[in-house]
Chains A and B, each alone.
Chain A
Amino acid sequence: MNLQNLSIKRKLLLITMLTSSVALVLLSASFLIYDLVSFRHFLSNDLATQADIIGYNSATAMAFKDASTATVTLSALKAKEDIVAAVLYSPDGKIFAQYVRAGVTHPALPTDLPQANTSRFKGSYLEVFHGISLDREPLGMLFLQSDMSQWSSRAKSYAIFLFMIMLVTAFLALLIASKLQALISRPILRLEDTMRVVSTKQNYEVRALKFYDDEIGRLIDGFNTMLSEIQHRDAALQGANDELKMRSEELEGEILHRKQAQEELLTAKRAAEDASRAKSAFLANMSHELRTPLNAIIGYSEMIEEEIQDCGQIQNIQDVQKIEYAGKHLLSLINDVLDLSKIEAGKMGLHLENFEIAGMIQEMVATLQPAIAKNSNTLRLNLADDLGMMRSDITKVRQILSNLLSNACKFTDHGTISLDAQRLENRDQQWIAFRVRDTGIGISEEQQENLFKEFAQADVSIARKYGGTGLGLAISSRFAQLMGGQISVESEPGKGSIFTVQLPVQVSAERADPASPKPQEAEPRHPEPPPKPQAETILVIDDDPAVRDLMSRFLLKLGYHVVSAVNGDEGLKLAKVLRPVVITLDVVMPGLDGWEVLKQLKSDPDLSNIPVIMVTIVDNEVAAMNLGASNYLVKPVDRDRLAEMVEQYRGANAASNLQNIPVGASHASQKSVSTPRLDPRARRN
């Protein structure tokens, strides 16, 4: 068992016992040694005294050479048990008389004698030499030898006595120590008990009992202070823990709540996206579904109108014209809604081309004449001489300007409308500023705020009085922004309004679709060339019989030979056979669609140089241009633009064979029209 791991009780006992035992043993040993040494001294003195007495007594015997008397004298030493030998030496060193204790072995008698009195310890024997004299006359020497039996027996008894004393003392010390060690060990043991209770039961409320005001007492005080500190902190920690738990539960609840909200949001978002997709699909579908009947309505009303004019039945012409106007108005409304939805979806692309600004304005103004005339207004054009060319989306520029001019006409009665155009240089860039000024009813400041917002006409009453969807300005503004420009307005109610459109001369390519269409011919538009009498062949590919019919009739009037195909396959076959001067191509068709037909046409070296005009409800001009289409027309077909496009290719190719029999079910009226008619423009607002 290791000594260091003994209990404190035993340690204390051990320490006490060891200390007292060592002290006792040392003390006893020193007592013993002192006693024995002094006893030896005493013995030596004693023996010397005896030698003195015996010497005195035997001196006369020596003096009178009476050996027997001397022997008798020496024999008296029998009484002294420790003396084993006694010898009287004459001065010449000879033995005069001697006494030897019977039955005792003793060391040899000395042969050489010392001069003076001597006492010495030799082994365990004490020897004394004592000179004998009579009246200062030296007579010889007495030698006494003692075995110190007294001494050894005394040492023995002394040792036994000391041992007994030690035993008794040790026992008493043990008794006292075992009683007194409790003074130290008891508080420590109690402290240990308390500590065990604290550590095993985690009970910080117990306190160690203090016994005395000594170091252990202070230790216990310190322990208690520590304990109360721990208890205090434990409580605080517990409180913090509880609070944390509560908070974390709250947080969990919050997280759960948020998660639910998020899921709801996700669901709502999906629903919204679904709804948006449904709306887009619906719009696309509706545009197709709405335009197809409108195509027929407008087309046939135009045809009827022409035929009536030809027949001279003037009284009916106004009715037909009303149908046509209503159809075209409806078409413009649908177009506006579709444009806006495209803008909002970010799908409105730009088709950039170079064009002459003045020419573009002249053309546009020409189509607006009926609207200008309607309210007896006059139009003034103030075009700067240096206008020149601009690179932009001509369709959208034209749409913005006609929009602004139509509005000016609409809200002005018997007034003057002017269109100014000039170049500006601002912010290191070339700009074209178009200013449309009228002398109409004007716009209040309040109304100006909402002027460019969708579905926000200046006043509800205005809608009733002047008609319109309220989308025109919003779309114009968006188009201008799309091209990097802007529209602003200045107005004073009752005096008129000024709309200023500022557009960059060069619209940067990055504003257009990344896959920019190949730039169109920079060739300035010529004034309409005179129609040529030769009939050239145009191939019309469309699955809609109404479209085929209308296209054929119109193109025949322009003096073309028209062959139509009902689907893509047939169209491709006819194109190879006929080598037409122009092909018009629908997109949405059963079997091969328009895109596929266009690709095949452009991949055939024989046919690739034939211009293709896309005539479709699908509004994706950019894609068409990328695939190699020459022009793009959205149904219902604007006949004037169709005529314009077709005319530019007349005579480009070798004259086709007029004798070729048309394959498609097409009418073949051989009328030719000298000039394109000025129809009321579809795009108005």
Chain B
Amino acid sequence: MVSKSQRLMRKIPFIVACLLCFSLMTAAPSHAQNTDSSDSSEYLIKAGFTYNFAKLMEWPSGAFAQPDSPIVIGVLGTDPFNGTLDQVLKGKQANGRAFEVKHLKWGADLKGCNILFVSDSETAHLDELFHNIKGLPILTIGDTPGFAQRGGIINFVVEDNRVRFEINADAAKQANINISSRLLSLAIPVHGTPDGRKP
């Protein structure tokens, strides 16, 4: 028979492991996604997310000229990534396609883009933008509160120091882009279209 102290001794590693797990669970995300420390780390995460979004998207067949045509990501307005997006996507592929990042100004042709990151700076032009690209298979990603409600497909939000995102499935449908349910299950769902605000 083993005494109580011995039994306790045997449980020590387990207890230590539990404590360690708990501390990691609570501490690590706050560290990793701390947006307060610098914009660069926030946008590093956002760049990663963007990369991941590309993987979970399904564009209509006509969206790409060639089977190996790169996914063209247009950054419209002021580039908040400050180059990290290029860094993150450099050499990466999604569904067999490479990435091409274009920095665009308001008024530029958006037809060639597959993903369009709409910067905070373009908030004034949002309705016009959505109107212009209506019906085009372009995944619009915003960084502005209400972006999704106004007709954008994905919008980054920061909650409790964590980067999250809103997805407007209706807008995706209008853009003829199929979003993976696995992505949808993680997103904050938002409804609304550029036309009538609410369907």
Q: Which residues of A contact B (CB under 8 A)?
A: 56-57, 59-61, 63-67, 69, 87, 90, 94-98, 100, 105, 108-109, 134-135, 137
Q: Is B47 an interface residue (CB 8 A)?
A: no
- B residues less than 8 Å from A59 (CB atoms): 182
Q: Are B45 and A65 in contact (CB under 8 A)?
A: yes
Check A57/B25 contact, CB under 8 A, given A63-B52, A65-B33, A134-B55.
Answer: no
Q: What's the nearest-Cβ distance from chain B to residue A3, in Å?
A: 42
Give the bracket for the number of chain B residues in contact with chain A: 20 to 34
Partner of A69, one of B28, B93, B186: B186
- Interface residues in B30-85 by Cβ distance below 8 A to A read 32-33, 45, 49, 52, 55-56
Give the number of A-B contacts (CB < 8 Å).
56
Q: Is B95 an interface residue (CB 8 A)?
A: yes
Identify the closest chain A residue to B49 (Cβ): A64
Identify the closest chain B residue to A97 (Cβ): B25
Q: Are B186 and A66 in contact (CB under 8 A)?
A: yes
In whole angstroms, how far apart are the Cα atoms of A134 and B57 in the complex?
A: 12
Q: Are A108 and B17 in contact (CB under 8 A)?
A: yes
Leading 4 A-B pairs by shortest Cβ distance: A135-B55, A60-B182, A63-B52, A95-B21
Q: Are A60 and B183 in contact (CB under 8 A)?
A: yes
Q: What's the nearest-Cβ distance from chain B to residue A140, in Å?
A: 12
Partner of A60, one of B33, B93, B163, B185: B185
Q: Is B199 an interface residue (CB 8 A)?
A: no
- A residues less than 8 Å from B182 (CB atoms): 56-57, 59-60
Q: Is B29 an interface residue (CB 8 A)?
A: yes
In whole angstroms, how far apart are the Cα atoms of A66 and B56 in the complex?
A: 16
Q: Are A64 and B52 in contact (CB under 8 A)?
A: yes
**Interface of B (DSSP majority class):** helix
Q: Is B133 an interface residue (CB 8 A)?
A: no
Partner of A64, one of B25, B94, B186: B186
- A residues less than 8 Å from B186 (CB atoms): 60-61, 64, 66, 69
Check A135/B185 contact, CB under 8 A, given A94-B24, A95-B25.
Answer: no
Q: Are A135 and B25 in contact (CB under 8 A)?
A: no
Q: What's the nearest-Cβ distance from chain B to residue A70, in Å?
A: 10
- A residues less than 8 Å from B13 (CB atoms): 108
Partner of B24, one of A57, A61, A95, A100: A95
Q: Are A135 and B21 in contact (CB under 8 A)?
A: no
13 contacts between A and B (CB under 8 A): A60-B183, A64-B49, A64-B165, A65-B45, A65-B163, A66-B186, A67-B25, A69-B186, A94-B24, A95-B21, A98-B25, A100-B18, A134-B56
In whole angstroms, how far apart are the Cα atoms of A94 and B24 in the complex?
A: 7
Check A67/B29 contact, CB under 8 A, given A95-B24, A108-B14, A135-B94.
Answer: yes
Q: What's the nearest-Cβ distance from chain A to residue B191, in Å?
A: 21
- B residues less than 8 Å from A137 (CB atoms): 55, 92
Partner of B28, one of A57, A87, A94: A94
In whole angstroms, how far apart are the Cα atoms of A100 and B20 in the complex?
A: 14
- Interface residues in B155-180 by Cβ distance below 8 A to A read 162-163, 165, 180
Identify the closest chain A residue to B20 (Cβ): A95
Q: Are B56 and A60 in contact (CB under 8 A)?
A: yes
Q: What's the nearest-Cβ distance from chain B to residue A564, in Å?
A: 155
- A residues less than 8 Å from B14 (CB atoms): 105, 108
In whole angstroms, how far apart are the Cα atoms of A90 and B33 in the complex?
A: 15
Interface centre among A100, A105, A108, by most B CB within 10 Å? Answer: A108
Q: Are A135 and B183 in contact (CB under 8 A)?
A: no
In whole angstroms, how far apart are the Cα atoms of A59 and B162 in the complex?
A: 18
Identify the closest chain A residue to B183 (Cβ): A60
In whole angstroms, how far apart are the Cα atoms of A63 and B50 in the complex?
A: 11
In whole angstroms, how far apart are the Cα atoms of A488 and B165 in the complex?
A: 185
In whole angstroms, how far apart are the Cα atoms of A59 and B52 in the complex?
A: 11
Q: Are B185 and A98 in contact (CB under 8 A)?
A: no
In whole angstroms, how far apart are the Cα atoms of A90 and B95 in the complex?
A: 23
- A residues less than 8 Å from B18 (CB atoms): 100
Q: What's the nearest-Cβ distance from chain B to residue A156, in Å?
A: 25
Known: A60-B183, A64-B186, A134-B56. 7 other contacts (CB 8 A): A56-B182, A65-B33, A65-B162, A65-B163, A67-B29, A69-B185, A100-B18
Q: Are B94 and A65 in contact (CB under 8 A)?
A: no
- A residues less than 8 Å from B52 (CB atoms): 60, 63-64, 134
- A residues less than 8 Å from B56 (CB atoms): 60, 134
Identify the closest chain B residue to A56 (Cβ): B182
In whole angstroms, how far apart are the Cα atoms of A97 and B21 in the complex?
A: 8
- A residues less than 8 Å from B180 (CB atoms): 60
Q: What's the nearest-Cβ distance from chain A to residue B90, in Å?
A: 14
Check A65/B29 contact, CB under 8 A, given A60-B185, A98-B21, A135-B94.
Answer: yes
- B residues less than 8 Å from A66 (CB atoms): 186
Identify the closest chain B residue to A73 (Cβ): B185
- B residues less than 8 Å from A100 (CB atoms): 18
- B residues less than 8 Å from A87 (CB atoms): 21
- B residues less than 8 Å from A65 (CB atoms): 29, 32-33, 45, 162-163
- B residues less than 8 Å from A90 (CB atoms): 28
In whole angstroms, how far apart are the Cα atoms of A63 and B54 in the complex?
A: 12
In whole angstroms, how far apart are the Cα atoms of A109 and B20 in the complex?
A: 11
Identify the closest chain A residue to B92 (Cβ): A137
In whole angstroms, how far apart are the Cα atoms of A60 and B94 in the complex?
A: 14
Identify the closest chain A residue to B187 (Cβ): A64
- A residues less than 8 Å from B45 (CB atoms): 65
Interface centre among A61, A98, A105, by most B CB within 10 Å? Answer: A98
